[in-house]
Amino acid sequence: MSGPRVLFAGGGTGGHLYPALALAEALRRRDADTEVFFVGALRGVEARVLPERGVPHKLLPFEPIRRGQLLENWKLVPAFFGSALGLSGVFRQFRPD
């Protein structure tokens, strides 16, 4: 019997990633059949840390919203659609619980 499938998402900073890694480790200690998968930003700390730790993951072109720079945010539209497509693929393939 397979264990739960848990998807973690980060926003490009260690403030999200390191607690998620600790939680994933705790879940696997509790149930060795637990499967984890991480989604992170191409430009974020995830791009370095997840491969170093051998954690299953996918990196997507997430970009931060620039508060106070409304016109700059229009540049985010293509990245948004690329990220949405990539995330859709992650959900179809990994099928988290």
Give the pLDDT of residue 9.
92
Distance, in Å, from the CA atom of 97 to the CA atom of 88, rounded to the nearest integer, reads: 15
Mean pLDDT in consecutive groups of 10 residues from the start of the chain, 97 residues? 89 86 97 96 91 95 82 84 92 95
How many residues belong to the chain?
97
**pTM flag (> 0.85):** yes
* Domain 5-94 fold: Rossmann fold (3.40.50)
Residues 6+ apart with CB under 8 A from 10: 16, 17, 20, 38, 39, 40, 41, 44, 45, 46
Strand partners, 35: 5
